[in-house]
Chain A
Amino acid sequence: MGAVGTNAIRLEGAEKLCGRTKFIDDYTFEDCLYGVTLRAAIPYGRVKRISLDPNFPWDECTVVTAKDIPGKNFIAAIENDQPALVEENVLHPMQALLLVAHPSRQKAYEALGRIEVEYEELEPVLTIEDSLALKAVLREPDNVFKDVRIDKGDITSGFAAADVVVEGEYRLPHQEQAYIEPNGMAAWLEKDGALIAAGSMQCPYYVHKALLHVLGLPAEKVRVIQAATGGAFGGKEDYPSMLAAHAALLAWKSKRPVKVIYDRLEDMASTTKRHPALIRHRTGVTRDGRLSAQDIEVLFDGGAYSTMSPVVLTRGAIHASGAYACPNVRIRAKAVATNSPPNGAFRGFGVPQTMFAAELHMDRIAEALRMDPLELRRRNVLKEGSSTATGQVLRRSVGACDVLEACAKKGRYAKKVKECAAWNRKAKNATWRGAGLALAYHGGGFTGGGEDFYASRAGVALEADGAIRVLSASTEMGQGASTVFAQIAADALGVPFGWVSVQTPDTAKVPNSGPTVASRTTMIVGRLVERAARRLKAELEEASGRIPKTRPLWLKAARKFLAGRGRREIISQYERPPGIHWDDKACRGDAYGAFAYAAALVELEVDKTTYEVRVRKVVTAHEIGRAVHPLFAEGQIIGGIAQGLGYALCENAVYKRGVMQNPHFTDYIIPTALDVPPMEVLILEKPYDYGAFGSKGLGELPMDVPAPAAAAALRQATGKWFFDLPILPEKICKALHEDHI
C-alpha cells in the first residue's frame, strides 16, 4: 500500500512533542548580541536629527543606521521601494530608524530610551478615502500601488437584461496572523566572510535575495537557513526579509552573532496584517435568479510601501465575483498607500475580503428575490465548461456544485433554517439562532504567469549511504509540508514512507522552489518532487531491474547504482500544464491551473442580554483534488475555519494614527478552545491532472468561507445585516437598538 492518502506519522512530530524542536530563540550562540529596533514615533514626516545620550556607555553597543548599509538600502520585493532603515523620510510609525545590539537584551532596550529623535511632522493619510482624494501624495503620482481591471462580456447589456439590481458596500478590517511564535532571526559571519541568517520564515530565497542587496554580497556569500517555524499563515512571507536585513547589518558591523527576536507587542505592532478593504457590489439579476451583470469595485489599504500588495490585490480581484458564472462582469480594483505599516500576506491573500463581500451580497440578492440562498447559488454556481471573470474556462476537477450540495445535505441546511426560525419565535428562549451558508473557490499556485516566472525547482537526492532526501525550499511551518513531501517521494519511487527524509530548507543545500505560499506547496512543489522521484525510479530500474522491497537489498542496489559517484541528485523544474494561457496586461485567461472549492454552514446563537455570539456548529465540505494526507488536510480546514470565525466575530485590530492600539493577546482576541465549535469536515476529491497525485491547493481555501456564512447566520438570528467585520457584540447591540433611538 502506498503512503499517499494515508495518515502518515508527522516526520518531526515526536521531536515537537518532546520540546526538542529548535525554534530560533532556542539556539544559543557564543558571544551573542541581542538586537533591538528604534522605530519612528510619527506616521508621516522627516527625521531632522538623531542624538545619542552622551551619558550612556555606547561603546558597549553596536549601533547601525542607514549610513552603515554596505549595499543598497531597500528590502527586495516586487518593487524595491521599502528601505531597510529610514534615511530621512518616515512613511509609517513602525518604520525602523536605527538598530542597537548589546550582549544584554535588557541593556539593549535601555539604550533605545537614551536616543532622542527630532522630526518634522506632516499630516498623515490614514484611510483609503483620504488616499484616493490625494490628501497627501505618498507615492507618485496617485497613491495607487496597483490597478487591476477585469472585464467580461458587457455589463451595460447585462444590467439591461436584469429584473432586479442589488447594491451593497462592505468593509473589512486588518487581521493579525497571530502565529504563536513571534518573528525572530539570527545572523552571523563565517570565517570565510560569508553571512548566515537563520530564523522563522516561509521563503528562504526571498530572505536570500534581500540580503544580497542590503549587504552587496555575491550569492555564494549569503546563506539562509530556516529554523523550525512556529506558525506563519503569510505573516512570515515578506517581513523576515526585513528582520534578516536588520540582524545581518548588526552582525556585519559588530562581527559577532546577533539575535533579533521580537516580543509579542513588537511583532503585532510592526509586522504585516491582512489588508483592510472597501468593496462595492452592484449586481443585476433576473427574476428567476440568474446573475446577468456584476459590477464590482475593490479597494485595498496597502499601507506605506508596496510589498506584496500588487499580488494580493490581483488575487482578491480575480476572485471578487465569487464561484459563479455570470456572463457580464466588470471588476475595478486598486491598492492604495496610507501612513500605516505595510499590509501583506495572510492566508487567503486578498480573497477572504472579496469573498466575504461576494457571498454576503448573494444572500442579499436572494432576499431581494425572496429566493432560498442555496437555490440562488445552485442556479449560478461554476460548473464544468463555465467561465470565470477572467474568461478561464473550467474543464476538469470542478467541485463547486459538489461542495455546495454535500455541505447542505450533511448540515441539513433547510431543516436547520426552519429549526432556527421556530426557536426564534419562542420569546422565552434566551438566545436568537441562525444558520448561514457560504461557497468559495480558491486558485492554487501563483496567479497568472507567476509560476512560469519563478520556474521553481525541487527534487530528490539518493545519498551515498542509501538515504533518500527530498530537496526543496518549501518550509515546514506546521501545515505538514515535510511529511507530505516524504509521502509523495515514497510513492513515486515505490519505497516505504519510512525510507524518505526531507532536507531542512537551507539555500546552500536546496534549490529555489519558490516561497511557501499561495496554497502551492503540495500541488505545485509536490508535483516537482513527484516528477524527480519518478525519474530517479526509472534510473534505478534501468540499473538494477525492480526497486528492492527490503532495506538491505535497497542499500545494495543504491551502492551499485551510485558506483562511487557520491550521490545522485535529480531536480525538476516547473513546466506549465498544456492549454494554459494568461494575458497579464488584460488580466484575461487561465488565472490558475486549478481552483479548489469549499462550502460551509455556520450555526450560531446570540445571547439576548449580552449579544454575545456563540457558534454552535460548523459543517464544511472541501473539494481539493486529492487529500495526500487526510488528517493534515482536515487539520488545515479546521484551523482555517477557526481563523475565519475569528476574523468574523472577535479579532478587532484598532488603529490610531497608523499605530495598532491593541498589540497583545489581552485585547486582540483570537479564538480559544472554548470559542471554536465542533466541526464536521467532508473532503471531496476530483483529481487535478497536474497536481502531485491529483492534489489541488488547500491551505488558504478554508479561510474564505466562515465569515460570510457567519454574517448570513447573524442575519437570520438578529434580522440585521452586518456588512463590516468584525461583528462584535457591541455592533449587534447598536444595530438592534438604533430602531428605538
Chain B
Amino acid sequence: MKIIFKVNLQERTYDGDPFKRLLDVLREDFGLTGTKEGCGEGECGACTILLDGQPVNSCLIPVCQAEGRGVETVESLGLPEKLSSLQKAFLEEGGAQCGLCTPGMLLSAAAHLRSGGRTDERSIRQAIGGNLCRCTGYQHIVKSIRKAAKKPRRTKSGVCISVKQMLKRDRKQILKECSQKSTRCASRSSAV
C-alpha cells in the first residue's frame, strides 16, 4: 500500500505494510536514524517527532496515519556546522549527554517554543515531561531551553523579537503561522 506524506518538507512515498510503525519507516525505509527507540511503548519519548507540528511518539503511530501530513524529525533542525539556536544552547549548557533522548527532547522543546508556550521553569518541565532522560537530571536541559527561548528571533520581516514580545503579538496569528509553516520554520537555521 502506497502512503505519501512529507518528511522534513520533502514529499516521500512509502510502499508496504500500512501498520508498520512510523518510527521504523523513518529509520529503516528513509534512513533517518536520528529518531531513536528507547522503549517502543510510548513511555520514554526518545522517538518523539512532530506530526503537523505536534510532538508525538512515533513508536505508537502506524505509518498509515501519516498519510498526507507533515512529519518533522531532528535531522531538520540544523547541521553540525550550522546549529539552530536551540541546539546551540544545548551544546553550551550541557543539555545533551549520551545523546539518546536528545532528538526527542529537542523536538518537544521546539514544538513548545514555536507554539508560544511559556518559558518559566515549570512550563518547560511540563513541556518535556514526556521525554525521559537518565543522564542529566533535566536541569541543564531546562536551562538550555530557557536560554534558547531568551534569544531574539527573526520574524518574516527580518526584525529581531524576543519570545516575550512574540507572545504579545496576536496569538492567533502566530499559532496559524506556526501550524502552517512549522516545517519551513524548522529548516531555517536561525529559528528554533
- Whether chains A and B associate is yes
Hey, which bits of chain A sit against chain B, CB under 8 A? 7, 9-10, 12-23, 25-26, 177-182, 228-231, 233, 263-264, 477-480, 631-632, 634-635, 638-643, 664-666, 670, 672-674, 676, 678-679
> Are B46 and A180 closer than 8 Å at their CB atoms?
yes
Whether B40 lies near A180 (C-beta < 8 A) is no
- With both beta carbons as reference points, the residue of chain B lying nearest to A229 in the complex is identified as B98
- Given A14-B83, A17-B106, A478-B97, 18 more pairs with CB closer than 8 A: A17-B80, A17-B102, A18-B74, A19-B74, A26-B27, A180-B36, A180-B98, A230-B36, A230-B99, A231-B134, A233-B134, A264-B41, A264-B44, A478-B98, A631-B93, A638-B136, A673-B138, A679-B139
Q: Are B33 and A22 in contact (CB under 8 A)?
A: yes
Inside 8 A of B102's CB, which chain A residues have their CB?
16-17, 19
> Can you list 26 contacts pairing A with B, beta carbon distance less than 8 Å?
A9-B92, A13-B96, A16-B99, A18-B78, A21-B99, A25-B37, A26-B33, A179-B100, A179-B134, A180-B46, A229-B98, A231-B100, A477-B98, A478-B135, A635-B97, A635-B135, A635-B140, A639-B97, A639-B135, A640-B137, A642-B136, A665-B43, A673-B141, A678-B121, A678-B139, A679-B139
B73 at the interface (CB under 8 A from A): yes
Query: How far, in whole Å, are A25 and B132 apart by their CA atoms in the complex?
Result: 19
**Residue B35 lies at the interface, judged by CB distance under 8 Å to chain A:** yes
A10 touches which one: B43, B96, B101, B138 (CB < 8 A)?
B96
- In angstroms, Cα B94 to Cα A676, docked, is 17
CA distance A548 to B79 in the complex (A): 32
The answer, yes or no, to whether B151 is at the interface (CB within 8 Å) is no
Chain B residues with Cβ below 8 Å from A18 are 34, 74-75, 77-80, 83, 87
Q: Is the CB of B100 within 8 A of A20?
A: no
Contact with B136, one of A179, A264, A635 (Cβ below 8 angstroms): A635
CB distance from B97 to the nearest CB of A (A): 4
Q: A284 CB to closest chain B CB, in angstroms?
A: 38
B80-A20 in contact (CB<8A): yes
Contact partner, B134, options A19, A632, A634, A639, Cβ 8 Å: A639
A180 touches B96 (CB 8 A): no
Which residues of the other chain, B, contact A25 by a CB distance below 8 angstroms? 33, 37
Which of A20, A178, A229 has its CB near the most chain B CB atoms (within 10 A)? A20
Q: Are A638 and B140 in contact (CB under 8 A)?
A: yes
In the complex, which residues of chain B have a beta carbon less than 8 angstroms from the beta carbon of A638?
136-140
**B98: nearest chain-A partner, CB-CB:** A478
Given contacts A16-B102, A18-B77, A673-B142, contact A181 B36 (CB under 8 A): yes
At the interface, yes or no: B133 with Cβ under 8 Å from chain A?
yes
Question: What is the bound-complex CA distance between A231 and B100, given in angstroms?
Answer: 8
Query: From A26, which residue of chain B is reached at the shortest CB distance?
Result: B33
Contacting A at CB under 8 A, from B34-56, are: 34-41, 43-44, 46
Bound: A635/B135 CA distance, A? 8
> Chain B nearest CB: distance from A199 CB in Å?
14
B interface secondary structure, majority: loop
- For residue B68, CB closer than 8 A to chain A, the reply is no
Q: Which residue of A lies closest to B35 (CB)?
A: A19
Q: Is B131 interfacial (CB-CB < 8 Å)?
A: yes
Q: State whether B33 touches A231 (Cβ < 8 A).
A: no
Chain B residues near A478 (CB-CB < 8 A)? 97-99, 135
Contact (Cβ within 8 A) B134 A670: yes
User: Is there an interface contact between B39 and A664, defined as CB atoms closer than 8 Å?
Assistant: yes
- Dominant secondary structure of chain A at its interface with chain B: loop
Chain B residues near A670: list those with CB within 8 A.
132, 134
Q: Which residues of B contact A12 (CB under 8 A)?
A: 99
Q: Is the CB of B134 within 8 A of A479?
A: no
Whole-angstrom distance between the Cβ of B25 and the nearest chain A Cβ? 15
Comparing B122-130, B164-172, B174-182, the segment that makes contact with chain A is B122-130
Is B70's beta carbon under 8 Å from chain A?
A: no
State A638–B137 Cα separation when bound (angstroms): 5
Q: A17 and B87: CB pair below 8 A?
A: yes
Is A17 a contact of B41 with CB atoms below 8 Å? no
| C-alpha gap A250/B31 in the complex (Å) | 25
Q: Known contacts A19-B35, A638-B136, A679-B139; decide if A263 and B40 are in contact (CB<8 Å).
A: yes
Name the CB-closest residue of B to A13.
Answer: B91
The 7 nearest A-B residue pairs measured at CB = A19-B34, A478-B98, A230-B100, A16-B99, A642-B137, A478-B97, A665-B43
A229 CA / B134 CA spacing, docked (Å): 13
B90 at the interface (CB under 8 A from A): yes
A18 nearest in chain B by CB position: B80
- Do residues A673 and B96 form an inter-chain contact, with CB atoms below 8 A? no
Which of A14, A26, A177 is packed against the most chain B CB atoms within 10 Å? A14
CB distance from A486 to the nearest CB of B (A): 15
CB closest chain-A residue, reference B139: A638
Residue numbers in B under 8 Å from A480 (CB-CB): 97
Query: What's the minimum C-beta distance from B105 to chain A, rounded to whole angstroms?
Result: 9
Q: Which residue of A20, A179, A182 contacts B34 across the interface (Cβ within 8 Å)?
A: A20
- Contact A674–B125 (Cβ < 8 Å): yes
Q: Which chain A positions have C-beta within 8 A of B80?
A: 14-15, 17-18, 20
Chain B residues within 8 Å of A678, by CB: 121, 139
B117 CB to nearest chain A CB (Å): 14
The verdict on A665 contacting B39 (CB below 8 Å), with A19-B73, A19-B74 known, is yes
B101: A residues at CB distance < 8 A: 180
Contact A479:B39 (CB < 8 A) given known A16-B102, A20-B80, A643-B134:
no
Residue in chain A with minimal CB distance to B124? A673
Q: How far is the CB of A622 from chain B (nearest CB, A)?
A: 14
Chain B: minimal CB distance from A306 (Å): 27
In the bound complex, residues from chain B placing their C-beta under 8 Å from that of A642 are 136-138
**A264 adjacent to B38 (CB under 8 Å):** yes
CA of A238 to CA of B136, assembled, Å: 23
Given the complex, which residues of A lie within 8 Å of B43, measured CB to CB? 664-666
Q: How far is the CA of A7 from the CA of B136 in the complex (A)?
A: 16
A181 touching B97 by the CB < 8 A rule? no
Q: Bound state CA distance, A681 and B105, in angstroms?
A: 24
Cβ-defined partner of B129 (8 Å) among A20, A181, A639, A674: A674
Please name all residues of chain B whose beta carbon is closer than 8 Å to the beta carbon of A639 when the two chains form the complex.
97, 134-137
Q: Are A672 and B129 in contact (CB under 8 A)?
A: yes
Residues of A within 8 A of B138 (CB): 638, 642, 672-673, 676
CA A639 – CA B46 in complex, angstroms? Answer: 18
Nearest-neighbour CB distance to chain A for B74, whole angstroms, equals 4
Binary interface profile of B, 13-45, with partner A (CB < 8 Å = 1, else 0)? 000000000000001000011111111110110
Whether the pair B35, A17 counts as a contact (CB closer than 8 A) is: no
Contacts of B73 in A (CB 8 A): 19
Cβ-defined contact, A676 with B75, below 8 A: no
* Residue in chain B with minimal CB distance to A228: B99
CA distance A14 to B80 in the complex (A): 5
A631 and B94 in contact, given A14-B83, A18-B87, A664-B39 (Cβ under 8 angstroms): yes
Q: Which A residue's beta carbon lies closest to that of B32?
A: A19
CB of B108, distance to nearest CB on chain A (Å) = 10
Residues of A within 8 A of B128 (CB): 673
Q: A182 CA to B35 CA in the complex, in Å?
A: 15
Q: How far is the CA of A39 from the CA of B43 in the complex (A)?
A: 25
CA distance A21 to B103 in the complex (A): 11
| Cross-chain contact of A634 among B34, B44, B94, B106 (Cβ < 8 A) | B94
Q: Which residue of B lies closest to A25 (CB)?
A: B37
Q: When A14-B91, A17-B96 are in contact, do A666 and B41 touch as well, CB less than 8 Å?
A: yes
Q: Which residues of A contact B136 (CB under 8 A)?
A: 635, 638-639, 642
The verdict on A673 contacting B125 (CB below 8 Å), with A16-B102, A180-B132 known, is: yes
Q: Are B41 and A665 in contact (CB under 8 A)?
A: yes
Point out the residues of chain B lying under 8 angstroms from A679, CB to CB: 137, 139
Inter-chain contact B41/A635, CB cutoff 8 Å:
no
What's the Cα separation between A641 and B43 when bound, in Å? 22
Contact status A181-B126, CB under 8 Å: no
Q: What are the residues of chain A within 8 A of B87 when measuring CB–CB?
A: 14, 17-18
Give chain B nearest CB distance to A348 CB in angstroms. 14
Instruction: State in angstroms the CA–CA spacing of A498 and B44 once bound together.
Output: 35
Please judge, given known A-B contacts A16-B96, A228-B99, A638-B136, whether A180 and B38 are in contact too, CB under 8 Å: yes
Name the residue on A nearest B108 (C-beta): A673
- Give chain A residues whose Cβ lies under 8 Å from the Cβ of B126: 673-674
